[in-house]
């Protein structure tokens, strides 16, 4: 048997295998150029356009209205309702600014939900805020609250804040202020 016949058969298998691999890689959105052995016809480069990824956006005060309802035990139930036209994600917990405070209050780490709360238009997320506790320091009344939403990395806020109406008498806060993570129902938020 002639030597060229022996070498052609394995090369055809290699070319077919390489072509199949190139097709798979191209379907995943990469550009592939396949160089064929000299005795085979050249294979053209194949390209595939990657599917457009759906934009993931954090909720912001521009598209979410936040209200506050007083609860027994010096607590506020925050309700954040998507007033926009697109879904948004209520990442992490609300960043709160009571009055002219310089430091953001803490959060209740154990309240982290199983998944990020997704708000379709007109849907709501909930967070419970403990405004004061006995024995805490710097207890004072505030009349304004601004709520900011976390970014996807949960390391800082994104976009405009939402201005929240508080009772006319104001709310007593101190250095023990803590909030839960955003929850999908008021019942889940009130557990904390």
Look at 29-43, 64-78, 97-111, 130-144 and tell me which has the smallest mean pLDDT: 29-43
Is it the case that residue 1 has pLDDT exceeding 70?
Answer: no
Dist. CA 9–CA 48, nearest whole Å: 30
Dist. CA 21–CA 31, nearest whole Å: 12
Q: Over the range 115-124, which residues count as b (16 or more CB within 10 Å of their CB) and which as e?
A: ebbebeeeeb
Whole-angstrom CA distances from 150 to 54, 57, 110, 161, 173 are 19, 11, 18, 10, 22
Tell me the two tokens of residue 100.
Answer: 């002219």
Q: DSSP code of 176?
A: T
Query: Could you identify the residue written with the tokens 């967070």?
Result: 127
Dist. CA 40–CA 122, nearest whole Å: 61
| pLDDT recorded at residue 42 | 39
Classified as helix, coil or strand, 66 is strand
Angle at 124 between CA 118 and CA 125, to 5 degrees: 70
pTM of the model: 0.71
Per-residue pLDDT band for 32 (boundaries 50, 70, 90) equals: very low
Q: What are the structural domains, with CATH classification, of the chain?
A: 1-52 (no CATH), 64-190 (2.60.40)
Is the CB of residue 75 less than 8 Å from the CB of residue 145? no
Dist. CA 109–CA 191, nearest whole Å: 14
| pLDDT recorded at residue 5 | 44
Angle at 190 between CA 186 and CA 192, to 5 degrees: 140
Tell which residue, 122, 108, 111, has the closest CA to residue 79: 122
pLDDT digits (tens, 9 = 90+) for 111-161: 999 999 999 999 999 999 999 988 778 889 999 999 999 999 988 999 999
């Amino acid at each position: 048997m002639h030597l060229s016949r022996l070498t052609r058969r394995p090369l055809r298998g290699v070319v077919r295998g390489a072509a199949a691999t190139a097709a798979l890689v191209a379907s995943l959105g990469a550009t592939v150029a396949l160089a064929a052995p000299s005795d085979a016809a050249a294979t053209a480069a194949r390209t595939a356009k990657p599917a457009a990824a759906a934009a993931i956006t954090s909720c912001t005060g521009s598209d979410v209205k936040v209200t506050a309802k007083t609860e027994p035990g010096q607590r506020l139930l925050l309700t954040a309702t998507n007033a926009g036209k697109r879904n948004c994600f209520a990442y992490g917990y609300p960043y709160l600014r009571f009055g002219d405070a310089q430091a953001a209050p803490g959060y209740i780490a154990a309240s982290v939900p199983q998944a990020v709360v997704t708000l379709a238009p007109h849907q709501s997320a909930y967070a419970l805020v403990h405004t004061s506790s006995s024995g805490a320091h710097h207890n004072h009344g505030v009349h304004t609250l601004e709520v900011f939403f976390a970014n996807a990395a949960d390391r800082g806020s994104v976009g405009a804040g939402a201005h929240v109406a508080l009772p006319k008498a104001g709310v007593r806060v101190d250095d023990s202020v803590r909030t839960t993570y955003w929850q999908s129902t008021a019942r889940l938020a009130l557990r904390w």
